[in-house]
Structure 1
Amino acid sequence: MSNLVHVPKNGSLANTNSKANFTNLSSLLDDLFNRDLPSVSTSNFISKDSLPKVNIKEAADKFVLEMAVPGLKKSDFKIDIDHKVLAIFTELKEEKEEEKENYTRREFGFSSFKRTFTLPDSVDDEKINATYKDGILSILLPKREEAKQKPARSVKIL
């Protein structure tokens, strides 16, 4: 058995593997083909194991749903309301091609997500609107007039 690590008397480690100083051809190729063309599948917000994070805030007259989805355009989203269910989804397809003198590199990716929320009866679904700014999708869910919290008041005794 060869000794790859030599521990000198001063306690520091020294690698004695002579091949360690030469870059591996496989790692060179991996480096060449794994940079400069990020694809949808390597996006930092969507993977098969995660969904965009959501905050839901309630005020006296509305709910506000905020979803963190950086790197998209507002045209990438589709928002539907059907039978008191709010559905937010996107499908991204990306294809890139790079041609050089002696090779062609093609990459493609597909990514999607769908989040659904059951709306409470207090939401006026005819007045829902959405905005997308700085990577945050905000959906305003106004409450019906009869569901809005009324200020406290005193009742006069007759």
Structure 2
Amino acid sequence: MSLVKLNRKKIPWINDVTTHWFNTDDFFTDDFMSRGANLPAMNVKENPKNFEVELAVPGFDKTDIEVSLENDILHVCAKKKQDAVEENENGYTRREFSYNSFDRKLQMPKSVNQKKDVKATYKNGILKLQLAKSDAAVQSSKKLIEIA
């Protein structure tokens, strides 16, 4: 049995004529339409003393991933070495697993203490980062306001 990949456009009802007529070329080719295509899914959690960032990066080794923090920018990138493998090797007739490189930059809030080390762990395809809050952000507590 042979499987054939279905090739559909992202937005099938928009073709070149329609985009040209409405002058929407830039709109539909803008980054926001494909921005998440090569970026790993991310969860962010705020705790009283730190922020936790989780990125789903299955298929990578921790040596493939680079994390840095500089000038309020958290930079996470990974490069996977792609081996040229024939589809028929090891009995495969189709291979769709791909671990593409990615490059993600996040603006950090002022409450992150950049002088403290970022703790990073990688387990089961999840990269977890812990970013410590500054002392001023940790000490500020919620003040309840009485309603008259």
Q: Distance in 2 between matches of 1:60 and 1:88?
A: 24
Unaligned stretches of 5+ residues in structure 1 = 1-22, 31-47, 101-108, 154-158
Q: Deviations over 1:108-130 (max 9, x none)?
A: x8821111111111111232121
Rounded to whole Å, the distance in 2 between the matches of 1:97 and 1:147 is: 51
Q: Which moved more, 1:77-86 or 1:88-97?
A: 88-97
Structure with greater strand share of residues: 1
Match for residue 138 of structure 2?
A: 148
Who is 1:39 aligned against? none
Deviating runs (4+, > 4 A) in structure 1? 149-153
Cα distance change of structure 1 residues 97 and 55 upon mapping to structure 2, 3 Å threshold: closer
TM-score, structure 1 as length reference: 0.55
Unaligned runs of 5+ in 2: 5-35, 89-97, 144-148
**Over alpha carbons, which structure has the higher Rg?**
1
Equivalents in 1 of 2:139, 2:56: separation in Å? 29
Counterpart Cα distance in 1 of 2:70 and 2:78? 17
1:63–1:142: 8 Å Cα contact kept in structure 2? yes
Rounded to whole Å, the distance in 1 between the matches of 2:63 and 2:40 is 17
Q: Which amino acid aligns with 1:80?
A: S
Q: 1:68 to 1:110 in 2, by over 3 A?
A: closer
CA distance in 2, matches of 1:152, 1:84: 25
Give the SS at the match of 1:93.
coil
